[in-house]
Structure 1
Amino acid sequence: MAPADNAGTLYKYVCPMHPQIIREHEGACPICGMDLVRQAFEQQSNQLQIASSQSMPSDLRQGFAIRTTRVQETTIWKYIPTFGKVVADESKVIHIHPRAEGWISNLSVRNNGEAVKRGQLLYKIYSPEIVAAQQDYLLAYKKSKMRNGNQAILDALESRLKFLGISGGTIKSLQKRGRVFDEIPVYAAQDGIVANLIVQNGMYVQPQTELMSLQDLSSIWIEAQVLPLQQAWLTENLTANITSSALPDQRWEGEISYIYPVADSKTQATTVRIPLLNQNGNLKPNMLVDVEIFGGPKHGVLAIPLEAVIDDGQQKRVVKRLGNGKFEVVEVITGTQSRGVVEVVSGLAVDQEIVTSGQFLIDSESQIQANLRRLISGE
């Protein structure tokens, strides 16, 4: 065992850069090759004690690089920096299905991502059911012209044609020409971008087949992820700023309109929805964006720099400076984080001095000394 003086101080040799390396004799660190330095350990203490800065070797002081600050009572502005992606506004997506089974022809869109205008031809369809419906309508229409037809029947047959996807303009053309259309044209009901296109010319389709969808991107949604630590004060109507590295000169502002009720099974993040106008079309589906969510002030909280917190995934600790070269590692419970500052819920008091740089080395040192005390006491 290393020698001890009459005051009960135990001396060991420690690497300045890797404090877990402790030897009972002089030598070099097996990790970095630096010379081990002599360090004093107090055998009987519940607190970590290292040599004071006046007596600590200069190379050890440089290795620890200790900086401190004081716990302050302040106001924290609730702030969440996170990320999100652009998705289509689902309230403005049209899913296009055929109204009757048949065969596709004259398909005018061939690729996903094509832009179409309202009223533009999408495709034509030949359907025996639609042909039969036209024949019934023409028969009733001709009888109505001869004043011996039933108007109610004619109206019902016209409604049937509209239900089968025939536009009002096509019905008027049907009346004028007096004979059926073998192929019925289908037009776009809105401006949009083609997505989920699965159909090709000549394909046989049925009503349950989704041929394509039209996404109106004049407005879009941003779906942003919020991690568990920042979910406590998350509410709808909070303001959010959105930026994108692809468009560095532009910034969008919106509000949270909806908080999804289901968290991600892996990250436990909650998804929030932020609607935005996108009239120039710069924001495209699946584009990644940076999101800043603001939630107002939280007054009168104890706060410390986030860099002072040692988080091993199981507990959070800080190193408190007691004076005379003594330090104590204490467990803390943290709350709101905002731009490098974190709220301390318990574990510290106002004006206490804590270590903000070098605390990882001191924390390792405290665990080493705890192990030494157990060895010395025979536990």
Structure 2
Amino acid sequence: MNDALLTPRRPSPLAVALGGLAAGFLAAAFVLLDPLDLHPLDERLRGDAPPAAAREHAAAAEHDHAEHQGYWTCGMHPEVIQEEPGQCPICHMDLVPLEVDPPAAGAADREPAGERKVLFYRNPMDPTITSPVPAKDEMGMDYVPVYADEVGATSGTTVRIDPLVEQNMNVRTARVERRDLRHPIRTLGYLDYDQERMVTVTTKFSGYIEKVYVNYVGEPVTKGQPLFEIYAPELVQTQQELLSALTFARRLAGAPEETRRRAEALVEAAETRLGYWDISREQIAELKRSGKVLRTLTVTAPASGLVMKRLPGLEGMAVKPGMEIFHIADLSSLWLTVEVFEDQIPWVREGTPAEVTLPYFPGKTFRSTVRFLEPELSEKTRTMRVLIEVPNRGGELRKGMYATVVFAPVAATDALVVPSEAVLRTGQRSVVVVALGGGRFAPREVVVGHEADGQTQILRGLEEGEEIVTSAQFLLDSESKLREAIQKMVARAQAPAPAGAPNDGAGGVH
């Protein structure tokens, strides 16, 4: 019996199962309720806990969140402004702290009044409207002067951008320059013969062509080169009259002066008649020297150039006065015919320089001037033809070639110019965003003039050397308007309520 009492009894399987279930419930309650605050340790062991830096950052954010005593706004709806953190009543996003620029310090705290420099004047009711000189608005209120020392303080329309944000926005700037503003005009045209350098070879007497020296069209000729020989009975008769007058004058060499003068007049009359028939002085001198009548007369080229026209079958042909036997064009210069639209006519006049380029000669530019403008416009195309004289000393150019012409007349001399992309046009006014330095930008209204070649003339509103924004100015301009609106709403929210006004306890402006 004693041995039975001393032998330990083994627990039943049911008791073991109930005990394990009870231990599991206790462990689950311990983990969920966490009476000893062991979750951070457990999370660290599993790798789920955030690093120490992240926890410190979250703690600092909660501390700043608790100490922030300013205003809160919505990133998507900036018109929502509240005095306490919360959610946007429109999109239910968490509000973010609103940083309001402090008001500009008083002028008396910075510089003596006598040493201050006035940059411009602004409308007291609308700071975006400025004037370089004192003025009054439509209500008769004087414009408020803006001094150079006030530019350092952020005004209602001035935007301050963090350098990193400025780089991400790809803000590019440029300087206001003073130079001549040109108005380039680009057009196309084609080359043609110079009408003033084209000559027609004809005869002033009837005759028969017996020999031809130039046989095909396009053959180059030089001035004085023989073209053809012609037999003309009238020409032979006049030569005989000249030789007879010369013989008669020699016989009367010892006669009285009056008789000699009449004989010499006969010689001069015969020479003049030959000259009227385009017989050269050299040919007349050769006739007088030899004393022999030439049966045929050699007709020479009156100018150098290319033969552009020739009558076929010239040899043996009977010709009459006025017949166009040869047509010669001098190619030392050509005419370039272009067309300009009616709104471009005021910029083109006789003597306007022109740059001519042809696709046949890459990289080569021919410089010339306008020679002639036609007096009327085409009713169909509303264009006017312009003739440009292009030198062709090397003979490279040919009739019918197409060319690109660029005129660059001066639209304004010694003008303030900015890149055209820097000007924001609203339809009623033009605005330029000025870079004030230190990440500060301010929109400024300007008056623009001529615009050409990617540059715009500034008549009023900017000074030479100022730095202006040429990219991302839409974002800066909208940000400045938003900043001004927020400051006005904050000012209304901070203004003391009038006596007797109900206070509903709403901590914001919507």
Q: Distance in 2 between matches of 1:103 and 1:159?
A: 23
Question: Which secondary structure state, in structure 2, belongs to the residue aligned with residue 231 of structure 1?
Answer: helix
1:179 to 292, 295, 313: 292
Number of aligned residue pairs: 246
1:97 to 202, 214, 218: 202
- 2:343 maps to 1:229: yes
- 2:350 maps to 1:245: no
Aligned to 1:155: 268
1:289 to 390, 398, 403: 403
2:323 to 209, 212, 223: 209
Aligned to 2:479: none
- 2:368 maps to 1:254: yes
Q: Distance in 2 between matches of 1:336 and 1:186?
A: 59
Q: Aligned AA for 2:225?
A: Q
Q: CA-atom RMSD, angstroms?
A: 3.3
Question: Which secondary structure state, in structure 1, belongs to the residue aligned with residue 249 of structure 2?
Answer: helix
User: In 2 relative to 1, CA 237–266 (structure 1 residues): closer, same or farther, beyond 3 Å?
Assistant: same
Q: Distance in 2 between matches of 1:159 and 1:83?
A: 50
Aligned-pair identity in percent equals: 28
Give deviations 1:238-272, integer Å, cap 9, x for gaps.
Answer: 22100111111321111213211132343232111
User: In 2 relative to 1, CA 336–227 (structure 1 residues): closer, same or farther, beyond 3 Å?
Assistant: farther
Aligned to 2:94: none
Q: Aligned AA for 1:250?
A: K
Q: Distance in 2 between matches of 1:233 and 1:78?
A: 8
User: In 2 relative to 1, CA 180–248 (structure 1 residues): closer, same or farther, beyond 3 Å?
Assistant: same
Q: Aligned AA for 2:252?
A: R
Unaligned runs of 5+ in 1: 1-73, 306-317, 319-334, 344-351, 354-379
Give deviations 1:271-302, integer Å, cap 9, x for gaps.
Answer: 11222322111122222211111122357899
- 2:255 maps to 1:120: no
Q: Distance in 1 between matches of 2:347 and 2:323?
A: 44
- Return the structure number with greater strand share: 1
- Return the structure number with greater helix share: 2
Give deviations 1:169-205, integer Å, cap 9, x for gaps.
Answer: 2223322443321210011222211123235222222
Aligned to 2:308: 195
Q: Aligned AA for 2:303?
A: Q
Q: Distance in 2 between matches of 1:226 and 1:301?
A: 26
Say if 2:417 and 2:455, in contact at 8 Å, map to a contact too.
no
Aligned to 2:154: none
Say if 1:230 and 1:337, in contact at 8 Å, map to a contact too.
no
Normalised TM-score (structure 2): 0.43
Say if 1:112 and 1:195, in contact at 8 Å, map to a contact too.
yes
Shift of 1:220: 2.4
Say if 1:137 and 1:158, in contact at 8 Å, map to a contact too.
yes
Q: Distance in 1 between matches of 2:190 and 2:278?
A: 35
Normalised TM-score (structure 1): 0.57
Q: Distance in 2 between matches of 1:102 and 1:262?
A: 44
Q: Distance in 2 between matches of 1:339 and 1:195?
A: 42
Q: Distance in 2 between matches of 1:242 and 1:119?
A: 33
Q: Distance in 1 between matches of 2:282 and 2:182?
A: 59
User: In 2 relative to 1, CA 340–104 (structure 1 residues): closer, same or farther, beyond 3 Å?
Assistant: farther
Say if 1:230 and 1:336, in contact at 8 Å, map to a contact too.
no
Task: Give the number of the structure with larger relative contact order, counting CA–CA contacts within 8 Å between residues 6 or more apart.
Answer: 1
Say if 1:83 and 1:290, in contact at 8 Å, map to a contact too.
yes
Q: Distance in 2 between matches of 1:94 and 1:180?
A: 29
Question: Which secondary structure state, in structure 2, belongs to the residue aligned with residue 133 of structure 1?
Answer: helix
Give deviations 1:8-62, integer Å, cap 9, x for gaps.
Answer: xxxxxxxxxxxxxxxxxxxxxxxxxxxxxxxxxxxxxxxxxxxxxxxxxxxxxxx
